[in-house]
């Protein structure tokens, strides 16, 4: 689910229920062994403390796609700073998309992950992406286009994460 305001899509909220513990979901969000397996791939690097760094690295597939499209993909595609880390309940960090020069004008946003244990071994994962002054990024992360064509946005990433944790397989497998 996405909440997109008419003021240039400044806040997007996504929620998914995952049959896994909050710790398993936390690990899937914060460790490179997991993040390279779902969504668009690519390893993450977190310093899970206030003021720590956050970096999302380009996967080999991203680099290849960039070459095919005629633009170089940087090693770090998303850069940020950890604002809050409360494992396995809440993670807040800044989010600056750097994969393409098309996003250079966009302001730095904030991503918040909230994880809540529910009955029956289910975790409610809520992702809030604040995008004030970042219209190009807002359109990209809210995309409902075919993920195999570069679309899908947060809905795709979270759906793929859910599938991987619950079944051991990605949606595209």
Instruction: For residue 116, list its beta bridge partners.
Output: 124
Number of H helices, E strands in the chain: 5, 7
If you average pLDDT over residues 61-75, what whole number do you get? 87
In angstroms, the CA 22 to CA 114 distance is 10
Q: Give residues with Cβ within 8 angstroms of 100, minimum separation 6.
A: 71, 73
Tell me, rounded to whole angstroms, the distance of Cα 64 from its chain centroid. Answer: 20
- Between CA 13 and CA 2 the distance in angstroms is 5
pLDDT band at residue 150 under the 50/70/90 scheme: low
Mind listing the pLDDT tens digit for each residue in 8-38?
478 999 999 999 999 999 999 999 999 999 9
In the prediction, which pLDDT does 105 show? 86
At 1, the pLDDT band (50, 70, 90 cuts) reads very low
Across all residues in the chain, what is the average pLDDT? 90
Paired strand residues for 115: 125
Question: What confidence score (pLDDT) does residue 8 get?
Answer: 46
In the predicted model, what is the mean pLDDT of residues 64-69? 86
Give Cβ neighbours of residue 22 (< 8 Å, ≥ 6 apart). Answer: 88, 89, 115, 116, 117, 123
């Amino acid at each position: 689910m996405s909440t997109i305001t008419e003021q240039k899509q400044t806040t997007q909220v996504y929620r998914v229920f995952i049959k896994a513990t909050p710790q398993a979901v936390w690990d899937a969000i914060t460790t490179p062994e997991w993040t390279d397996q779902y969504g668009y791939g690519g390893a993450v690097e977190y310093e899970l403390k206030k003021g720590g760094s956050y970096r999302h690295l380009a996967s080999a597939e991203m680099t290849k796609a960039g070459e095919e499209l005629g633009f170089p993909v940087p090693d770090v595609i998303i850069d940020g700073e950890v604002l809050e880390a409360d494992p396995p309940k809440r993670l807040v960090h800044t989010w600056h998309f750097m994969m393409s020069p098309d996003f250079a004008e966009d302001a730095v946003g904030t991503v918040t992950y909230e994880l809540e244990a529910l009955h029956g071994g289910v975790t409610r994962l809520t992702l809030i992406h604040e995008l004030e002054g970042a219209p190009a990024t807002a359109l990209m992360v809210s995309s409902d286009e075919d993920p195999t064509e570069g679309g899908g946005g947060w809905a795709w990433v979270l759906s793929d994460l859910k599938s991987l944790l619950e079944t051991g397989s990605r949606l595209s497998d």
